């Protein structure tokens, strides 16, 4: 008897090819389209740059998922997790921005939606396994399940999966782990799937691509304030709301030429959301962006791998390179992560993910950042 697996079918090329590969491997595949954001109720889909007509992008994705399911001859279910997404992911997202941090909602969308309530829905439909079109590998080491980096390092998504526990990892299949994105596209084209050349989604998980400040303003209206040179204390510009800016941000600051000063560009180094001030530094003085260590909380740990007194690799942004760090546990939910070499633009709220070789061995959220033993994030 074939094993039943429920696959999250998004309407994109990755999940479509994942469904095909699972069928080829002998699984009975039940596809499911998750609707987790109500764009119509929130009246925010207008102005989305991916839309060229009046159709909500989620409904277009659902039509694409239907087309794929028909082509692959697999059933397609549809489920709404709008309430769960709002309570467990989007509320956290807003709270973090209000606190002046830079959240990554995809991390918690995976933890609470795709690998939790979706998995419970799969069990209710007699599927003991779930599957996703993520670029990651599920591996078993010494009797324990871990995630490992995908073959395509450029597309590897273990960073976004860093809050998954071992039970969630054990329950999920990742058919794309041994493929590159180009190989996935080729398979889709050979199958003549309608979405073979569909553009990859790069927006917020389930919310999509849109003008970010405008979208955030719908939920967190902000007041204009001063942009201040952190070295001189001089006001050199105005911002549209301190919470909207990211540590290390260089573009879109709107700072004009400063009299008697050579143009070097400006970078955000600190935000004070209480006083509504954005602090910047000149491009000629990147030292203000550097830090020696950070504290990491909201830890995701594995019983089989102690995150204490270890030299490992760490990733602090999805597109950043892995760096050498030393981790030591200060208490049950706090790590001190010391960088071998000073790091640039470490932002609170972002995920810190740890690797032993290609094995993902835990993660957490950056809560404080230090240089020369002085806290610099506030």
Instruction: Find the helix or strand (DSSP H, E) in which 130 lies.
Output: strand 129-131
CA angle 261–263–267, rounded 5-degree value: 110
Question: 53-62, 237-246, 302-311, 332-341: which has the minimum mean pLDDT?
Answer: 53-62
pLDDT confidence of residue 252: 86
Query: 3-state class of 107 per DSSP?
Result: helix
Who has greater pLDDT, 10 or 57? 10
Distances from the Cα of 252 to the Cα of 21, 39, 97, 348, angstroms: 43, 27, 18, 21
185-196 mean pLDDT: 96
pLDDT confidence of residue 41: 57
CATH number of residue 250's parent domain = 2.30.30.280
Residue at a domain's end among 213, 234, 265: 213
184-206 mean pLDDT: 86
Range of the domain at 176: 4-213
Query: What long-range pairs does 179-183 form, CB within 8 A, spacing at least 24?
Result: 179/17, 179/151, 179/152, 180/151, 180/152, 180/155, 181/135, 181/152, 181/154, 181/155
DSSP per position, 250-292: -SS----PPTTS----EEEEEEETTTTEEEEEETT-GGGGEEE
Q: Are residues 297 and 250 in the same domain?
A: no
pLDDT category of residue 212 using cuts at 50, 70 and 90:
confident
CATH number of residue 46's parent domain = 3.40.50.620
Spatial CA neighbour of 1 closest among 103, 110, 126: 126
**pLDDT surpassing 80 at residue 2:** yes
pLDDT category of residue 52 using cuts at 50, 70 and 90:
very low
Q: Are residues 10 and 132 in the same domain?
A: yes
Distances from the Cα of 218 to the Cα of 204, 222, 272, angstroms: 15, 10, 21
Who has greater pLDDT, 217 or 335? 335
The chain-wide mean pLDDT, for the chain, equals: 91
Q: Are residues 168 and 95 in the same domain?
A: yes
Q: Are residues 116 and 24 in the same domain?
A: yes
Q: What pLDDT digit, counting tens, does each position of 321-338 carry?
A: 999 999 999 999 999 999
Q: What pLDDT digit, counting tens, does each position of 123-142 carry?
A: 999 999 999 999 999 999 99
**pLDDT surpassing 70 at residue 54:** no
**pLDDT surpassing 70 at residue 53:** no
Distances from the Cα of 19 to the Cα of 126, 185, 188, angstroms: 18, 14, 11
Q: Are residues 121 and 174 in the same domain?
A: yes
Residue 107 — φ and ψ, nearest 5°? Answer: -60, -45
DSSP per position, 59-85: HHHHHHHHHHHHHHT--EEEEE-HHHH
Residue at a domain's end among 213, 235, 264: 213
Q: Are residues 274 and 294 in the same domain?
A: no
**pLDDT surpassing 70 at residue 51:** no
pLDDT category of residue 55 using cuts at 50, 70 and 90:
low
Distances from the Cα of 304 to the Cα of 135, 140, 142, 328, 351, angstroms: 23, 11, 9, 16, 21
Distances from the Cα of 247 to the Cα of 85, 123, 347, 368, angstroms: 26, 42, 6, 13
Q: Are residues 159 and 86 in the same domain?
A: yes
Q: Are residues 130 and 251 in the same domain?
A: no
- Structural contact between residues 250 and 263, judged by C-beta atoms closer than 8 angstroms: no
Query: 3-state class of 212 per DSSP?
Result: helix
pLDDT confidence of residue 47: 45
pLDDT confidence of residue 208: 58
Q: What pLDDT digit, counting tens, does each position of 171-184 carry?
A: 999 999 999 999 99
pLDDT confidence of residue 274: 92
CATH number of residue 298's parent domain = 2.40.30.10
Q: Are residues 9 and 31 in the same domain?
A: yes
Q: What pLDDT digit, counting tens, does each position of 163-173 carry?
A: 999 999 999 99
pLDDT confidence of residue 257: 62
Q: Are residues 123 and 239 in the same domain?
A: no
Q: Are residues 267 and 348 in the same domain?
A: no
Catalytic residue positions, numbered: 109, 205
What is the widest separation between alpha-carbon atoms in the chain? 78
- Is the four-CA dihedral 203, 208, 211, 217 of positive or negative sign? negative
pLDDT category of residue 318 using cuts at 50, 70 and 90:
very high
Q: Which two tokens stand for residue 111?
A: 């933890």
Residue at a domain's end among 231, 254, 284: 284
- Is the four-CA dihedral 11, 31, 14, 186 of positive or negative sign? negative
Q: Which two tokens stand for residue 50?
A: 């991916």
Provide the domain count of the chain: 3
67-76 mean pLDDT: 97
Residue 230, Ramachandran bin (φ over 0: left; ψ between -120 and 50: alpha; else beta): alpha
Residue where the block lists tokens 């590159």 = 180
**pLDDT surpassing 50 at residue 193:** yes
Helix axes 181-190, 13-24, angle to 10 degrees: 70
Q: Are residues 48 and 191 in the same domain?
A: yes
- Is the four-CA dihedral 189, 194, 199, 205 of positive or negative sign? negative
pTM beyond 0.85:
yes
- Is the four-CA dihedral 273, 277, 279, 280 of positive or negative sign? positive
Question: 203-207, 266-270, 324-328: which has the minimum mean pLDDT?
Answer: 203-207
pLDDT category of residue 43 using cuts at 50, 70 and 90:
low
pLDDT category of residue 19 using cuts at 50, 70 and 90:
very high
How big is the chain, counted in residues?
378
Q: Which residues lie below 8 Å from residue 22, measured CB to CB, with a gap of 6+?
A: 5, 7, 29, 131, 173, 175
326-351 mean pLDDT: 97
pLDDT confidence of residue 123: 97
Distance CA 325, CA 339 (A): 5
């Amino acid at each position: 008897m074939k094993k039943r697996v429920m696959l999250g079918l998004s309407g994109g090329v990755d999940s479509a090819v994942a469904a095909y590969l699972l069928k080829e491997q002998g699984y009975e595949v039940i596809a499911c389209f998750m609707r987790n954001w109500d764009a119509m109720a929130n009246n925010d889909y207008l102005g989305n740059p991916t839309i060229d007509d009046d159709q909500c992008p989620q409904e277009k994705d659902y039509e694409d998922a239907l087309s794929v399911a028909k082509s692959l001859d697999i059933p397609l279910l549809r489920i709404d997790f709008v309430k769960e997404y709002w309570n467990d992911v989007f509320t956290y997202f807003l709270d973090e921005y209000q606190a002046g941090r830079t959240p990554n909602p995809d991390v918690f969308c995976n933890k609470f939606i795709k690998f939790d309530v979706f998995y419970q829905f799969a069990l209710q439909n007699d599927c003991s396994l779930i599957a996703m079109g993520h670029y990651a590998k599920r591996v078993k080491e010494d009797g324990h399940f871990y995630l490992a980096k995908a073959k395509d390092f450029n597309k590897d998504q273990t960073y976004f999966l860093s809050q998954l526990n071992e039970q969630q990892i054990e329950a999920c299949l990742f058919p794309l782990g041994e493929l590159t994105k180009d190989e996935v596209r080729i398979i889709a084209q050979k199958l003549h799937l309608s979405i073979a050349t569909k553009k990859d989604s790069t927006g917020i998980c389930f919310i999509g691509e849109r003008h970010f400040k405008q979208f955030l303003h719908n939920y967190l209206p902000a007041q204009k304030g001063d942009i201040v040179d952190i070295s001189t204390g001089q006001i050199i510009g105005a911002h549209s709301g301190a919470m909207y800016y990211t540590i290390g941000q260089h573009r879109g600051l709107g700072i004009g030429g400063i009299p008697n000063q050579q143009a070097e560009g400006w970078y955000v180094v600190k935000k004070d959301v209480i006083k509504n001030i954005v602090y910047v530094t000149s491009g000629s003085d990147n030292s203000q962006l550097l830090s020696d260590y950070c504290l990491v909380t909201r830890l995701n740990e594995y019983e089989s791998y102690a995150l204490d007194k270890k030299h490992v690799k760490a990733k602090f942004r999805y597109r950043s390179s892995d760096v050498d760090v030393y981790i030591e546990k200060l208490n049950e939910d706090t790590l001190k992560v010391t960088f071998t070499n000073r790091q640039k633009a470490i932002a609170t709220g972002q995920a810190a993910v740890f690797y032993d070789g290609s094995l993902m061995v835990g993660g957490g959220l950056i809560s404080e950042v230090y240089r020369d033993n002085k806290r610099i994030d506030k």
